[in-house]
Structure 1
Amino acid sequence: MEHAPCISQIATLLADPKRSAMMWALMDGTARQAEELALLAGLSPSSANAHLGRLSAGGLLKVEARGRKRFFRLAAPEIGAAVEALASATLVSTPRQIPEVFKRRVMPTKAPSVPASLMRARLCDDHLGGTLAADLYQRLLDAGWIEQFEQRVIVTHKGANQLAERGLFIQALAYRNARIACPCPDWSERRPHLGGALGAALLQLFMQSGWLALPNDSRALQVTTLGQQEIHRFARQDAVEMAF
């Protein structure tokens, strides 16, 4: 265990609710001023600068000087992926039921501010996440292209045929060193989206088709006008019937 990575420093930095709120505000890859981050986190400018200084010194943020202004952004895409993984883990580990004796002591907390673009469509590891992805997952289920059994997802015969019509062949995906399909918890939607090799293949298809675009230094995906139409039609039963 001599070379085990030390995560305690990062965990300490993210444990503070105010610092985590500012990290959330930067999850889409944009750079924001200290004053804006202070407002989003409910901090005074001096307190925000102190927190931002710790996050920068810890390697989680990088600073960009633009004239007299200082802008902060995530130091690397891996930082955003790590924060999102923690959010997903929190969703999975949240108790489904709270004992009655504790319910009176639970105080509601305000959800951290997350950019709308990140909520809508974003990179989640190697596949699509966000509202767009969660809606697509539900359409795949409703259309009978996939079936879910607890934490297992299988592609049906109907789904395999429909996906093959669009250039995605399940037999080819099966040769990859990953599950073909699995439910991935979506921290912003509180419902799953599609992960696994099929999830990655769908994201690649959408991007190659010009339906989605990934700006530099961002994890938020841009949905084109054509993509807005085509992704919402994907796996819709009425759209499939019209195609034949």
Structure 2
Amino acid sequence: MENMDHIRKASKRAGFLSIVGFLIIVASLLYSYIQLSGLEKNIEDKKVILNRQKEEIDELKKTIEKFRLDADKIKHRVDELDSTQQSLLDFLVSVTDKNNVSILGPNVDWKEVKRQLNSLPSGKRKNAILNAILLAWKDIPFIMGQEGVKAGFDSPRFLRYVLNTVGLEVKTKRGEPLSVTLMNRFEKVDSPKPGDLVFFKGQVGNFGFILASVGTSDSEHVGIGTLQKIAPLQIISMGSINTPYFPLRGYYRVVYPDEK
């Protein structure tokens, strides 16, 4: 009897352990299912995010391509404008009545002038040089003390007129020559750049030019202006001016309104 009781108790324990083991397995399977379900949802969420990012990348690629095409169009337009500008400059020089006066001095490297002008960024400095060239083309006479397209110019008044066309005003000071006012207004520099002013000492007072291009030496600079009645407005090499007869006073840095 004792053996039978012992066997029954052992059977009960085994059955209980089997049930516990079964429940553990079921719980493990349920836990794994829950975990897998969460993982699958997480994977689906990641897929949605990746698809959204892919769509955004595709849209970004389209935008970049549009910008690239627009940039190509703008570059093409700029190249066309540069070509037109150079053609107009060549036209102005070619149609001048050379039997009367040539606006282009014989020692001027016109190709280099155009290259430097073309390399300048758009702005008032570049516009001032272009305005000076256009005024030189009009064959305006040298008239001492005058300042106007119809009335004529003397040297410093031509420079003031050009600066005024781009919004840079220089007022006359009582008792002071305009050339001196201009030299006092702008900082004297050793290394000029296109659009700056250069002055020379004349037989009476001073005269100056606005630089259209600069070279490696004083004689290679090219300016636009006039110095006397027999030499109306023109584009001239500074090497033709800078002589013991007309000594160099200096170069003066013009700070244009859009450069401040």
Shorter chain as normaliser: what TM range? under 0.3
Q: Give the helix-richer structure, 1 or 2.
A: 2
TM-score, normalised via structure 1 length: 0.26
Larger Rg: 2
Structure with higher strand content = 1
**TM-score of the two chains, using structure 2 as the length reference:** 0.24
